Amino acid sequence: MKISESSVDDTRPRVRMRPKTDARRIRFGYPWCYANEIVTDRRTKALTPGSLVILEDENRNPLGLAAVNPISKIFARLIDLDPAADVNQEWFAHRINKALSLRDQLFNEPYYRLVHAEADGLPGIVIDRFGDTLVIQPNAAWADQRIKMLTAAAVEVTGAECVVKNSSGRARNLEALDDVTTIVFGKLPPMPVKVPMNGAIYMADLMGGQKTGLYYDQRPNHRFVQDLANGARVLDVFSHVGGFGLAALAGGAESLICVDSSEPSLELAAQAAEAMGVKEIFNIRHGDAFSVLSTLNDERELFDLVVCDPPAFAPARQSLDAGLRAYERIARLSATLVAENGILVLCSCSHAADLEKFRGASLRGIGRAGRKPVLIHTSFAGPDHPLLPQLAESGYLKALFFRL
Ligand code: SAH
């Protein structure tokens, strides 16, 4: 059965941009209209979160169809240039299909981010694919309300056998949405699922794990580390389920220590090492990364390859200074553990710390450790995380590869 939005007519509410606001930006592809850019009155305030409206410029020319949330700073998200578009299952299927065709071009196996929100024409919607299981994050009200239609469309396009709705996204809070993760289609396969990537095997827990179970965004950076890893002693700090470390082992690393404060994540990394047949050279240190790094320094340990991929220390502008100091500390504590001519990889997934600021903090830390770096490579998220060039905010991930 197809699920359809009640059919559209011209009674769709209209929301107009204020005089002197930049509607051209939206015409050129910027997908959001902020609360302070629209004419507010009783009618706009009364709009239900997630409802669809026709967004107009100051002269009442339609800009397109938008999904609104009057309680969010992002008042309207443009979802179709056609103000009369019928947002039904076919509409979702068309967008998901378009997203799928890019991933089909990029990957041989069905393990990737299938939909990356705005850049795939589905604002606020993230879908990660793990073979026959999809994990959907509806991070905006309009998507949350249409989860049935979205799920039906995703199943239609991919043939998935199970769909998990993951509600852990931080943005859901801003849209006043709950945090309950549920299975919305089919039956969950046995957990964890085995995910092949870069010749390694990862174990992903799609129900209890962080994010949607695995960090696909680091795939090309895992690969870059792998290509440098032959014969190396590797330290993977903030390892989660072993993203960098297991890739390094698949690339011929001599030994690996994974460091994380999450015991379940380290347990999944250990299971994966066993599945890869490299259990003997796999080790863990469970605990706070700052103190584990200090201990390793006290023990005068040295590694040929050290990776630090912490959680966002500066997720928002208010936390920028404290975040940059934390990045600097991580760089200082890890640089001293790198053997002469070894590699140090420093990552940041903070929106607020841009590349220049993050590189600056990293260089200060390395300098304070008394080491001389050269930058051999700078990288970002993989191509299954496309960017809308107009949305600088969506370019969060940075990875710096130094040789010391
Ligand atoms: N490197 C991983 C992703 C890391 S996500 C990959 O490529 O797949 C960040 C990780 O940092 C999470 O697993 C989280 O549990 C861990 N973490 C957060 N704070 C920490 C801390 N203070 N000490 C150690 N680990 C921490």
> Is the same domain home to 213 and 176?
no
Is position 271 within any domain? yes
> Is the same domain home to 278 and 346?
yes
| Residue 19 Cα to ligand 1 middle (Å) | 46
pLDDT of residue 209: 57
Q: How far apart are CA 305 and CA 341, in angstroms?
A: 10
Cβ of 216 less than 6 Å from ligand 1? no
CB 324 within 8 A of CB 315: no
Q: What is the domain range of residue 120?
A: 89-186
Q: How far apart are CA 282 and CA 255, in angstroms?
A: 6
Instruction: Estimate to the nearest angstrom the gap between the alpha carbon of 296 and the chain centroid.
Output: 30
The tally of domains found in the chain comes to: 3
Choose among 247, 151, 259: nearest CA to 202. Answer: 247
pLDDT of residue 211: 66
CA-closest residue to ligand 1 atom 11: 238
Give the mutation target among 218, 223, 240, 294 for probing the ligand 1 site: most ligand atoms within 8 A of CB. Answer: 240
Is position 203 within any domain? no
> Is the same domain home to 252 and 340?
yes
CA-closest residue to ligand 1 atom 1: 239
CA-closest residue to ligand 1 atom 22: 288
E strand intervals along 191-269? 193-197, 200-204, 233-237, 255-260
Is position 198 within any domain? no
Cβ of 283 less than 6 Å from ligand 1? no
Is position 196 within any domain? no
Is position 9 within any domain? no
53, 80, 107 - which closes a domain:
80
Strand-pairing partners, residue 200, are 197
What residue has token string 């450790």? 369
The CATH number of residue 22's host domain is 2.30.130.10
122, 154, 186 - which closes a domain:
186
pTM of the model: 0.95
Give the mutation target among 198, 260, 396 for probing the ligand 1 site: most ligand atoms within 8 A of CB. Answer: 260
pLDDT of residue 390: 84
Cβ of 239 less than 6 Å from ligand 1? yes
Rounded alpha-carbon distances, angstroms, from residue 134 to 186, 238, 281: 11, 25, 33
Count of Cβ atoms closer than 10 Å to residue 352 Cβ: 21
Cβ of 215 less than 6 Å from ligand 1? yes
pLDDT of residue 5: 53
| Residue 212 Cα to ligand 1 middle (Å) | 14
> Is the same domain home to 224 and 342?
yes
pLDDT of residue 7: 45
CA-closest residue to ligand 1 atom 10: 238
pLDDT of residue 389: 87
Q: What is the pLDDT of residues 251-299, one digit of tens each?
A: 999 999 999 999 999 999 999 999 999 999 999 999 999 999 999 999 9
Is position 199 within any domain? no
- Each of the 404 residues of the chain gets a pLDDT tens digit; together they read 455 554 445 689 999 999 999 999 999 999 999 999 999 999 999 999 999 999 999 999 999 999 999 999 999 999 999 999 999 999 999 999 999 999 999 999 999 999 999 999 999 999 999 999 999 999 999 999 999 999 999 999 999 999 999 998 888 988 889 999 999 999 999 999 999 999 999 999 999 755 668 999 999 999 999 999 999 999 999 999 999 999 999 999 999 999 999 999 999 999 999 999 999 999 999 999 999 999 999 999 999 999 999 999 998 889 999 999 999 999 999 999 999 999 999 999 998 999 999 999 999 999 999 999 999 999 999 999 999 988 866 678 999 999 99
Cβ of 288 less than 6 Å from ligand 1? yes
> Is the same domain home to 28 and 164?
no
Rounded alpha-carbon distances, angstroms, from residue 178 to 48, 141, 186: 16, 10, 22
pLDDT of residue 69: 94
Long-range contacts of 322-325, Cβ-Cβ distance < 8 Å, separation of 24 or more:
323/350, 323/352, 323/353, 324/353, 324/357, 324/358, 324/360, 324/361, 325/361
> Is the same domain home to 125 and 243?
no
Q: Phi, psi (5° rounding) for residue 311?
A: -65, 170
Q: What is the DSSP letter of 314?
A: -
Rounded alpha-carbon distances, angstroms, from residue 161 to 86, 134, 182, 203: 27, 8, 15, 19
pLDDT of residue 208: 77
E strand intervals along 289-328? 303-308
The CATH number of residue 114's host domain is 3.30.750.80
